[in-house]
Chain A
Amino acid sequence: GQQVMQIPQYQHVQEGEDFTTYCNSSTTLSNIQWYKQRPGGHPVFLIQLVKSGEVKKQKRLTFQFGEAKKNSSLHITATQTTDVGTYFCAGSNSNSGYALNFGKGTSLLVTP
């Protein structure tokens, strides 16, 4: 089945430092979604990327979809304590039917 791998598993940064998490798939994806889960909370949708090479920005967050549509990244510029949480990517393709497969997530800790 489709595998969506995400690295790193954990990241600890000082407030103001940048942060990047990477998502890689063994197969070409139709689209990729990113979610954020605060400690004790539920995943919340951030964004979706569909096109090859697509780049989208949300304030300090930059999302990229690779040219081959097999990888994606989320970059946070100048982290803040409010960025703490776990970031998940989720992908699907024509072979996965209607199953949306999540990566294992990257847990971000930001210390002031």
Chain B
Amino acid sequence: NAGVTQTPKFQVLKTGQSMTLQCAQDMNHEYMSWYRQDPGMGLRLIHYSVGAGITDQGEVPNGYNVSRSTTEDFPLRLLSAAPSQTSVYFCASSYSRSLNQPQHFGDGTRLSIL
């Protein structure tokens, strides 16, 4: 099993550009989520999904869209990138939506917005 795969690993964008960060898991996990990590801020939840076709907002959803058309994939879209979105983005998944299961994280995408 590959676990949670995030692509790309690094990306530089210009302000106003759009981009999709990809996340895929091959563990048939029900729950998937996106976090951003900034120095001194820890991991902040952007969006999450408890199953295909179901998404919800986390702590910092503004400027980001998500969809969950399949169990395996949970892409994160930046429609118009801003410098404040420079961050490291982590995708995570877990077996069930009950949040009593370990979260499996991808290796992250390091995103810079100029």
Contacts and interface: CB of A to CB of B under 8 A. Distances in A.
Interface of A: 1, 6, 9, 30-31, 33, 35, 41-45, 48, 50, 88, 90, 92, 97-105
* Chain B contact patch, size range: 20 to 34
B97 interface: yes
Interface string B50-71: 1000001011000000000000
A42 B105 contact: yes
Contact of B45 (A41, A42, A44, A101): A101
A100 B45 contact: yes
B40 A100 contact: no
25 contacts: A1-B59, A9-B40, A42-B90, A42-B107, A43-B43, A43-B105, A45-B102, A45-B103, A48-B100, A92-B99, A97-B56, A98-B48, A98-B50, A98-B56, A98-B99, A99-B45, A99-B48, A99-B56, A100-B48, A100-B99, A100-B103, A101-B59, A102-B42, A104-B41, A105-B42
With a 10 A CB-CB cut-off, give which of A6, A41, A92, A100 has the most chain B CB atoms. A100
A88 B100 CA distance: 16
A21 to B, nearest CB: 12
Contacts of B107: 41-42
A88 B103 contact: no
Contacts of A48: 100, 102
Contacts of A9: 40
B104 interface: yes
B105 to A, nearest CB: 4
B91 to A, nearest CB: 10
Contacts of B104: 45
With a 10 A CB-CB cut-off, give which of B33, B56, B97, B103 has the most chain A CB atoms. B103
A31 B99 contact: yes
A24 to B, nearest CB: 14
Nearest to A2: B59
Interface in B60-91: 90
A42 B42 contact: no
